[in-house]
A and B are shown apart, each in its own frame.
Chain A
């Protein structure tokens, strides 16, 4: 049985244009496919990954154009619906950024900072990314 792992993702939008996704969410999705047991908590600026309807303007350099720019809300939905990875967003970080809970993609749960501290005890491994 896989070790139950809590992943607190705080690094946000790092190289997402070049990778066309977030490297950590990608890694967790791939590991889940290999049998891992992950839960994701979006913290700090990373809570914005859960805001629905976002899109990035593709990079263009001369005649070269990007055709598959990242869609972070799509990737969060994929974690929840297809990978069965629970995704939380830190409630205070959502509020501080003026994000309404109704703007979060369906299935994202909010967790307060104090509750997050208690939540860690439920996991064998806690990774802070």
Chain B
């Protein structure tokens, strides 16, 4: 049976919408099935893998740093890469280079890399299907 490969384009910035939660649920399910995932992180989504994200406590909730256990998308990206590898798949995660430069988020978690729209074009050409989750 041939390997399933999916190309995914993300646009939303961290902490701005529910789109990314849905995207990560889909990506997680695909990774657990051993699919190869080609992700193009465009515009705000280019900050998803930024290594300098820091969790914070939540004084309104009355919780300290450990109790709040605030999510960071960089941890989710890293977990996705590891989950795919553990299931026999792989993640090729491209952060749009110009988008990264605009935002000053050029340091990425391992397993992701800088790229360009040409990479998304290549992803589309070699994937079995394409899922675009645009910002609204």
User: How many residues of chain B are within 8 Å of chain A by beta carbon?
Assistant: 33
Given A15-B15, A18-B20, A59:B71 Cβ within 8 A: yes
Chain A interfacial residues counted at CB < 8 A: 23
List the A side residues contacting B11 at CB < 8 Å.
none
Contact check, B60 vs A18: say whether CB atoms are below 8 A apart: no
In the bound complex, what is the Cα–Cα distance between A21 and B69 (angstroms)? 13
**How far apart are the CA atoms of A82 and B71 in the complex, in Å?**
25
Mostly, the B contact residues are helix
Residues of B within 8 A of A62 (CB): 28, 31-32, 79-80, 82-84, 86
- In the complex, which residues 38-68 of chain A have their Cβ closer than 8 Å to any Cβ of chain B? 59-64, 66-68
Residues of A within 8 A of B (CB): 13-21, 26, 29-30, 33, 59-64, 66-68, 78
Query: Pick the contact of B76 from A29, A64, A67 — CB < 8 Å?
Result: A64
**A-B CB contact pairs (8 Å), 21 listed:** A13-B18, A16-B18, A18-B14, A18-B73, A19-B15, A20-B61, A20-B70, A20-B71, A21-B58, A21-B60, A26-B60, A61-B80, A62-B28, A62-B32, A62-B79, A62-B82, A62-B86, A63-B79, A64-B75, A68-B70, A78-B60
